[in-house]
């Protein structure tokens, strides 16, 4: 079973690319951001504990996300070809924890995809991103608008700006990315597993570039 890591700044399209790739390949999609938002929506004890970090654009403590990922990897069905980690690891300690979990499960890290785009574009994309409250489908007011403004085309739910997509929080998330996550580029470059894929173009073009690598 293969393990692919999708790395990159907020708004670069890791989630969209992971969704398309997993749909086409049968890989499982493990998104730590999505799992954390589900905990918050369910108002679980874990959700209450992490809400403040997410709303203020901070990273949730390493041990909380690491435990979540370890649980998810532990229950994967044996017959799938692999899984994509979308948004994990985000710090060097998380990458080291991941090495441990992969070892325990007799798995190996395959490729790490670094999606790249210019920062102004990321800020514009996040401020126009709209997410369905009910099913999580993602739209964009300028590049992928729903037929009816504010209404999800998949389930009819209400589309909203994610609380952490507000301008101030986006700036904070980008700063956290530069400080905490960018060191992973060198970490994985040294292991010769890092591949760069453009994330600034149209979804189809970015996906075609991804499929040339995996
Ligand atoms: P995302 O949906 O990947 O943009 O993640 C949304 C938020 O969830 C982030 O801004 C963090 O607060 C939190 N989060 C997601 N993944 C991680 C991670 N690997 N480590 C720490 N916090 C995370």
Find out whether the beta carbon of 54 lies less than 6 Å from any atom of ligand 1: yes
Q: What is the 3-state secondary structure (H, E, C) of 82-148?
A: EEEEECCCCCHHHHHHHHHHHHHCCCEEEEEEEEECCHHHHHHHHHHEEEECCCCCEEECCCECCCC
Task: Please give the average per-residue pLDDT across 34-59, as a whole number.
Answer: 95
Find out whether the beta carbon of 36 lies less than 6 Å from any atom of ligand 1: yes
Q: How many A from CA of 33 to the centre of ligand 1?
A: 4
pLDDT in tens, 22-41: 999 999 999 999 999 999 99
Task: Please give the average per-residue pLDDT across 68-93, as a whole number.
Answer: 96
Within 8 A by CB and 6+ apart from 5, the residues are 84, 85, 88, 89, 98, 109, 111, 112, 113, 188
Q: How many A from CA of 155 to the centre of ligand 1?
A: 25
CA dihedral for 117, 121, 123, 127, sign (positive or negative): negative
State the catalytic residues.
14, 90, 129, 162, 173
**Residue 109: per-residue pLDDT:** 97
Pocket mutation for ligand 1, best pick of 54, 126, 184 (most atoms within 8 Å of C-beta): 54
**Residue 50: per-residue pLDDT:** 96
Strands 2-7 and 28-31, how do they pair? unpaired
Q: How many A from CA of 170 to the centre of ligand 1?
A: 12
Within 8 A by CB and 6+ apart from 49, the residues are 64
**Residue 152: per-residue pLDDT:** 97
CA separation for the pair 172, 150 (Å, rounded): 26
């Amino acid at each position: 079973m293969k393990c692919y890591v999708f790395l990159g700044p907020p708004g670069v399209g890791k989630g969209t690319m992971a969704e398309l790739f997993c749909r086409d390949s049968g890989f499982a999609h493990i998104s730590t951001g999505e799992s954390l938002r589900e905990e918050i929506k369910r108002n679980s004890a874990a959700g209450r504990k992490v809400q403040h970090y997410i709303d203020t654009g901070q990273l949730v403590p390493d041990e909380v996300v690491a435990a979540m990922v370890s649980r998810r990897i532990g229950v994967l069905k044996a017959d799938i070809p692999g899984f994509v980690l979308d948004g994990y690891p985000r710090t060097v300690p998380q990458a080291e924890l991941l090495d441990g979990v992969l070892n325990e499960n007799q798995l190996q890290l395959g490729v790490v995809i670094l999606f790249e785009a210019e920062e102004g574009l990321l800020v514009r994309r996040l401020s126009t991103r709209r997410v369905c409250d009910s099913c999580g489908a993602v739209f964009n007011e300028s590049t992928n608008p729903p037929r009816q403004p504010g209404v999800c085309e998949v389930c009819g739910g209400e589309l909203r700006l994610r609380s952490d997509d507000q301008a101030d929080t986006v700036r904070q998330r980008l700063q956290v990315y530069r400080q905490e996550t960018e060191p992973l580029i060198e970490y994985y470059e040294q292991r010769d597993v890092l591949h760069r894929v453009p994330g600034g173009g149209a979804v189809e073009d970015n996906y075609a570039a991804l499929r040339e690598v995996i």
